[in-house]
Amino acid sequence: MWNSERSHSNGGGGGGGGGGSSGNNTKTLGMTSAISTAEPKPEDLQKTQELEKSLEPYNVFEAESELNHRMEILAKLNTLVKQWVRDVSISRHMPEATAEKLGGKIYTFGSYRLGVHHKGADIDALCVAPRNIDRSDYFGSFFELLKQQPEVTECRAVEEAFVPVIKMNFDGIEIDLLFARLALKEIPDNFDLRDDMLLKNLDQKSVRSLNGCRVTDEILRLVPNIDNFRLALRTIKLWAKRHGIYSNSLGYFGGVSWAMLVARTCQLYPNAVAATLVHKFFLVFSRWKWPQPVLLKQPDNVNLGFQVWDPRVNVQDRFHLMPIITPAYPQQNSTFNVSSSTRKVMLMEFNRGMQITDDIMMGKQMWDKLFEAPSFFYRYRHFIVLLVTSSNADDHLEWCGLVESKIRYLIQNLERNQHINLAHVNPKCYEQHEQNPAATLNAGGGADANQTPAAFCSLWFIGLEFERTENLNVDLTESIQSFTDSVHKHAVHIKLLKDGMKIEARHVRRKQLASYLDANLLKRERKISDSYPTTPNNSSGGSGNNGSAPPSPSHGAGGGGTVGGHTARKRKSSENLSNANTSGCSSPASTAANGSATKKRRNDSFDGASNTSFDRLNEPNEQSPPASQTPPEEDVGSEPLSSGQENAPEADAQTSSSSPSEQHRNGTEAESASPPSSDAATTAAVIDDDGSCPATKANGADSRSSSSSSNNNNNSSKSNGSSSSNGANSTPTAAATTEVVCS
């Protein structure tokens, strides 16, 4: 019932069967026909065996005993749900015989349901109850029942979240348990959630909760070979985590987004084995014409009144930067949190992955090279460090969760500053370095020898890349103040703020990182930065100079473009991925480095001739040709949302660093912030947070609208020409200085 290797008859197979070899597929999966249906060659099978072996040291596979332990826990939880439904019903004077038949069931979704969870991973689960059980019962009597169980620890309810959830540790396994109440009298054990009519007359929270299970099952149904899909997805998930681009809450891709990208690759190469799929994954998505959406199938024509992702109808959907659309009704964009900065970072990693997998498939590198983590702390010269402190473990867990869910709004605030080219948040949360009191919060922003360190302190780091301008003075006070104020205000609103909870943001230079991080970590980062190859300027897939890779020296002011202190080198022609001489290498979402403002293309028009566009990509078992032989890529990534959509009205071009649709996601509120003054002499990057809730701009729809307007208006003046030349990392000339000083 809860086995992650569940039967393929209900969970997958699509056109080619569940596991094993799929043979020649006659059924087309996805929005377009396959690029290649070629069978794998012996060398592809060998590369797949090497790939699977290279994954073993990273604990991405669980032993059989651990899988059985998970199933035992889910069985206990399922029994607990049935007992709870029965007891609540009897307490409301329902006959006992009738109450026994009501049922109730636990469903799984996410990485565990997909069969790609790693050792020690949590389980995403859904509690489905009949119509006589209310949500208030779930967060009331059931929550109390869970806390009484001897196996349950760290049990907490997050009822105010966009998708309400109970989080707990059940016998050593972390479980996130959602709740959905169906309009049915009974919930039988063999009940299937894929029927769209189940959503009729349900509330929004139940629909959102059901969406996880429905999307996961649909993904498995739409891939031609589940075993190959799983191994390729394990690889991509590990790569994304090692490269710091795995976090939906911080604006990167989450687990379901990576799963849908890998599933789309499987549809395009239905007979390819895992090694080939990984290689083709980077080929396809390093050239994808974002913001063209990624879709696994034609959207369902169901009209139950729920809003679906459709840029022809919903204006906010036109500003999504990297849309990946879920395949189950109601279709949603799983990547609405992506910002301009996280987009640049991910595009750079796609291109690096393309180079590395090219070398692997040609025998020049081993698979371990793909999982080498790049240096973060030696990539930038300036950082903002967020220090989050609490007085006890339970408070700290809740406080860190709230702050992490809000960090993307700080990124958006920073992106509005015309002098900041990139605000790169590191998704890893660091604990306070015990040897360094500088990481202790205090009102003055520095170390206080007489101050008692907080019991619990966590840190997030944001690397800043400034434009290259002589004598640059940047004021980040308003950007940081609006962020910290909004966090406190939201904590007060949901009654989470308690004594000892504090948040502080500081500007630090690279040489000051030793006060916050372990010396051994910094040594490893320095060693990585000395050996890690620098990515050249040309970013395929439409990143242009607004993409991820720093420009070549010829594009920088004074010719000093660097990455982590190393001068950017040109890529050899054999490594080039369709450079600027091909007509389609620049995305409609960005412009060339000519000093003009970056313009994000809206998603309200689609190329109706794009159904056959993927046949221009290379065959799966051939190496990528040199730049002079690489096919034009202008049509890559142009998947139509639906027939006739090429005639959708074209809206006026606007600029945007982030999606205004983020304003109503995840139960958080978008903060409105005035554009920081650019003529200030210093930056007051330290905010005095005493736990109070200072006056902030109004939340709600008005505030969110103001945030979007500020975002669009201020970014129109942001230049991307020479200003994107990695100013934070480059060595300035004698006359060029960047003043970012703590007040």
| Residue linked to tokens 């959905």 | 180
Is 110 marked as a binding-site residue? yes
Q: Is 223 annotated as a binding residue?
A: no
**Pick the catalytic residue: 44, 137, 176, 689?**
176
Q: Which amino acid is at 510?
A: R
- Minimal CA–CA distance to 607: which of 565, 667, 648? 648
* Residue position matching structure tokens 């049509």: 635
Residue of 54, 111, 375, 610 marked catalytic: 111
Residue pair 170/2 in contact by the 8 Å Cβ criterion: no
The gap from C-alpha 561 to its chain's centroid, in whole angstroms, comes to 28
Q: Name 293's Cβ contacts closer than 8 Å, sequence gap at least 6.
A: 309, 323, 324, 325, 333, 603, 639, 641
Beta strands (DSSP E) in 134-292 are: 152-158, 165-170, 173-181
Helix (H) or strand (E) holding 123: strand 123-129
User: Which residues in 240-373 belong to E strands, given as ranges?
Assistant: none
Helix (H) or strand (E) holding 390: strand 382-390
User: Maximum Cα–Cα distance for the chain, whole Å?
Assistant: 86
- Active-site hit among 107, 112, 246, 329: 246
Distances (CA, A) of 88 to 152, 170, 177, 202: 21, 23, 19, 21
R_g (Cα) of the chain, nearest Å: 26
Specify whether 554 is catalytic: no
87 is in an annotated binding site: no
| Token duo for residue 121 | 């991973």
Residue 111 in marked binding region: yes
**Contact by Cβ (8 Å): 325, 294:** yes
Query: What tokens does 29 get?
Result: 């999966």
Q: What residues contact 174, with CB distance under 8 A and at least 6 apart?
A: 121, 122, 123, 167, 168
Distance of CA 604 to the CA centre of its chain: 23
Residue 530 near residue 401 (C-beta atoms within 8 A): no
CB 186 within 8 A of CB 102: yes
124 is in an annotated binding site: yes
131/89 Cα distance (integer angstroms)? 11
Is 255 known as a binding-site position? yes
d(CA 713, CA 724): 19
Contact (Cβ atoms closer than 8 angstroms) between residue 70 and residue 173: yes
Amino acid making up residue 513:
L
Could you give phi then psi for residue 179, rounded to 5 degrees? -135, 140
Residues 529, 565: contact at Cβ < 8 Å?
Answer: yes
Angle value at C-alpha 413, between 407 and 417, nearest 5 degrees: 140
Q: Name the 3-class secondary structure at 677.
A: coil
- 256 belongs to an annotated ligand binding site: yes
What burial letters (b/e) apply to 499-520, b meaning 16+ CB within 10 Å? Answer: ebbbbbbbbbebeebebbbeee
To the query of whether residue 657 is one of the catalytic residues in this protein, the response is: no
Q: Is 608 helix (H, G, I), strand (E, B) or coil?
A: coil
Angle between helices 701-715 and 393-415 (to 10 degrees): 40
Establish whether 123 is an annotated binding residue.
Answer: yes
- Out of 44, 124, 358, 475, which one is annotated catalytic? 124
Residue 217 annotated as catalytic: no
Length of the chain: 743
* Annotation says 237 is catalytic: yes
Q: Is 112 marked active-site?
A: no
d(CA 216, CA 112): 10
Among residues 76, 87, 122, 369, the one annotated as catalytic is 122
Q: Which of 82, 167, 205, 237 is catalytic?
A: 237
Known binder of ligand: residue 246?
yes
Residues 491 and 497: beta-carbon distance below 8 Å: yes
Residue 87 annotated to the active site: no
Cα–Cα distance list, 291 to 4, 287, 614, 642 (Å)? 33, 12, 16, 16
Q: What residues are designated binding site?
A: 109-111, 122-124, 176, 237, 246, 255-256
Q: What residues are designated binding site for ATP?
A: 109-111, 122-124, 176, 237, 246, 255-256
Q: Which residues are catalytic?
A: 111, 122, 124, 176, 237, 246
Q: What residues are designated binding site for Mg(2+)?
A: 122, 124, 176
